[in-house]
Structure 1
Amino acid sequence: MENYVKGKNLEEPLDISKVPISNLPQDVLWMQIRGGTKMTNVLAHVMKQFENKTDIACLWTGFGPSVGKTISCAEIMKKEFKHELHQVTKICYRLVEEYWDPVLPELQQLVVKRKLPMIHIYLSNKPLDIRELG
């Protein structure tokens, strides 16, 4: 790989319509966790959003190395709301293409396609469909 330098990354765009959880409400709070996301900041935002509300609906999403952080955020939220929440968890993959540009002109550009694990955790205080897997 010494003859190549890392180029751009193309990630499959995140869209709420592609989340594999059925019957998501339109006003769901969608928290997308990345590697650099500070847990205290996102948890403070979520707690502030649901401070005086009776309807709680939050979707936590993370992929790659941030899957563990996503799970931790959802578990802390469940602890804060004293187990009043119902949960649906789905695991899928996200496609990422890495481009490697050649240093030597006689070489061709390389494209590496990777599937990164992705998790979606939906938490709601309303009972969810028990036929929903996950």
Structure 2
Amino acid sequence: MMHYRKGENIEEEITKENLPFENLPKDFLWMHVKGGTKVSNVIDYAKKSLDKAEYRTLVWSGYGGGIVKTISCAEILKRSYPLHQITRLTYKTIEEQWEPQMEGLEQIIANRQIPCIHILLTLDEVDEKTNGLQKSGNKTSFWVERSANDSKSNQPSGSGRNRKDQGKQRYGNQNKNSRNPNKPFNQNKPPQQKQQRPKPPNPEPMDS
């Protein structure tokens, strides 16, 4: 791509009519989340709309770098309201145009498929046969398994004595008295003989 310059990007437009949900109400709040969206701002706006009873259903949509924040917004809002959830995953087409910088070269057009997520949250009852339904107050199997694993990892492995015994079995007894731990350390060494210093000779009497 040395002799090409990146041109315009044409993104596929997503409208309310082609959202991947059936039986959507006529009036609902549609929240678009991007990578640079501030989560606290959109959450406050959504809460005000629900508190004022302006909407009973809202849809969170995000793609690319905004998918993680889209999921976070839905999970945070569910903590404050008894909302039923329906999740859909789709793809969005982005057309990239590359313009030639030399004569004889043609324009290159590349199509990329970007993953998108749409999360519908509603206060109204939803048919239990709906695919991807997560009813209010329920957790998906992923969160149930994760919570169980977290609770197991937080449990203590045993008393202090048991952990000490496990450490001995794993690393071995590193006590200095490894030969016989029931005896003092000095008993494992041979007795040392005291060296006697030679006595100085008696002084001889001097002749007068």
**Fold agreement, TM-score > 0.5:** yes
Percent of aligned positions with the same letter in both sequences? Answer: 40
Output the TM-score relative to the length of structure 2: 0.60
Aligned to 1:15: 15
Higher-strand-fraction structure: 1
8 Å CA contact retained: 2:28, 2:55: no
Aligned to 1:36: 36
Number of positions where the alignment pairs a residue of Structure 1 with one of Structure 2: 132
Per-residue CA deviations over 1:16-35 (Å, capped at 9, x if unaligned) read: 11111101111110001122
Q: Secondary structure at the match of 2:94?
A: strand
Q: CA RMSD in A?
A: 1.4
Q: Does residue 1:59 correspond to 2:56, yes or no?
A: no
Partners of 2:54 and 2:108 in 1: CA distance = 52
Aligned to 2:121: 123
Q: AA paired with 2:114?
A: L
Output the TM-score relative to the length of structure 1: 0.92
Instruction: Please identify runs of 4+ aligned residues in structure 1 that moved more than 4 A.
Output: none
Which range moves more in the overlay, 46-55 or 69-78?
46-55
Q: AA paired with 2:42?
A: V
8 Å CA contact retained: 1:32, 1:60: yes
Aligned to 1:91: 89
Partners of 1:13 and 1:106 in 2: CA distance = 33
Q: Secondary structure at the match of 2:90?
A: strand
Q: CA deviation at 1:14?
A: 1.1
Partners of 2:116 and 2:80 in 1: CA distance = 24
Q: CA deviation at 1:55?
A: 5.6
Structure number, greater radius of gyration = 2
Which range moves more in the overlay, 109-118 or 53-62?
53-62
Runs (5+) with no aligned partner, structure 1 = none
Q: Secondary structure at the match of 2:109?
A: strand
Which range moves more in the overlay, 25-34 or 35-44?
35-44
Q: AA paired with 1:106?
A: G
Give the alignment of 1:73-88 within 5 angstroms: 73-81=73-81, 84-88=82-86
Partners of 2:14 and 2:76 in 1: CA distance = 24
Q: Identify which of structures 1 and 2 has the higher relative contact order when contacts are C-alpha pairs closer than 8 Å and 6+ apart.
A: 1
8 Å CA contact retained: 1:43, 1:77: yes
Aligned to 1:108: 106
